[in-house]
Amino acid sequence: MNLKNLIIFIFSIGSFFAIWEIYYWIFINNPFILAPPSRVIPTFYDLLAGNIQGFYMPLDAIYSLYHYFLGFTVAVAVGFSVGLIAGWYKRVERFLYPIIELIRPIPPIAWIPISILLLKLTHTAAAFIIFIGSVFPILLNTIYGVSSIEKKYIEAALTLGATKTKDIFIKVIIPASMPAFLTGLRVGSGVAWMCVVAAELFGVSHYGLGYKIELGRLYHSPDIVISYMLAIGIVGLFLDRIYRTLEASIVKWRRGYLIE
């Protein structure tokens, strides 16, 4: 991030906090309903330092990231591999279409009772919810990426001696479908992170950022609730930056073809 972008970033965050502070004192002015930034920021620091009994934000973030990676890793593996096959073999896509469109509209939250019944209050139950929420953006974007590859690239590969399907997949299909897959990866990551919070919030796990939001609500502490909400946003922003950097690195060959 260059200096100009950093200044814009700081100004944007500062403006948001300023509007929030002014809104609180003019329209709310009740610490049991909402907390202003002047109260949330010190609470955020205390939660990071473990100064509030029963709350330790770094440990909660680690638990939430564990749930995230546990479910999202499986979603990436399944979504990418099945997407490649379904995008290449149209019969597989036609077979999977009714199954995907039957399950995809069901909100991940609706799976929480089933996951608790099947997997109890475990890390696996949280990972299952995250998998359900994040696999479809990756799968559908990968299918689209493969399906949209122009035939001339396949024909060029065949002309140059790529007679085996394996060679076509490695040399043409996978590289050409990467932009669509990486878009699905970023979208799926955002959904996965939201599912982490939802799963923990509804009691699938007794640890994590989402669980502590519910605990803060039970303690009637809006400053704790909002502090954990900010932590969720910060971690989500950090994850997105990682995937944006990964995308820029993998598909750097697209530079010069796109609007900067």
> What's at 146, amino acid-wise?
V
Asked, for residue 23, whether it belongs to a domain, the answer is no
**Average pLDDT of the residues in 100-120:** 88
The DSSP call for residue 110 is G
**Average pLDDT of the residues in 65-85:** 93
Condensed to tens digits (0 to 9), the pLDDT of residues 205-242 reads 777 898 899 888 888 889 999 999 999 999 998 998 88
Total count of domains within the chain: 1
Average pLDDT, the chain: 86
pLDDT of 253: 59
Model confidence at 259, pLDDT cuts 50, 70, 90, reads: very low
The answer to whether 50 touches 56, Cβ cutoff 8 Å, is: yes
Helix (H) or strand (E) segment spanning residue 202 = none
d(CA 216, CA 209): 10
Asked, for residue 137, whether it belongs to a domain, the answer is yes
Residue span of the structural domain in which 141 resides: 37-248
Asked, for residue 75, whether it belongs to a domain, the answer is yes
Asked, for residue 16, whether it belongs to a domain, the answer is no
Asked, for residue 27, whether it belongs to a domain, the answer is no
Asked, for residue 70, whether it belongs to a domain, the answer is yes
Decide which of 35 and 159 is more confident.
35
d(CA 181, CA 137): 9
Asked, for residue 181, whether it belongs to a domain, the answer is yes
Alpha carbons within 13 angstroms on the beta-carbon side of residue 181 total 24
pTM of the model: 0.84
Positive/negative CA dihedral, 192, 198, 204, 206: positive
Residue 6, pLDDT above cutoff 60: yes
CATH number of the domain encompassing residue 154: 1.10.3720.10
> What's at 49, amino acid-wise?
A
**Average pLDDT of the residues in 87-92:** 88
Query: How far is residue 39 CA from its own chain's centroid?
Result: 29
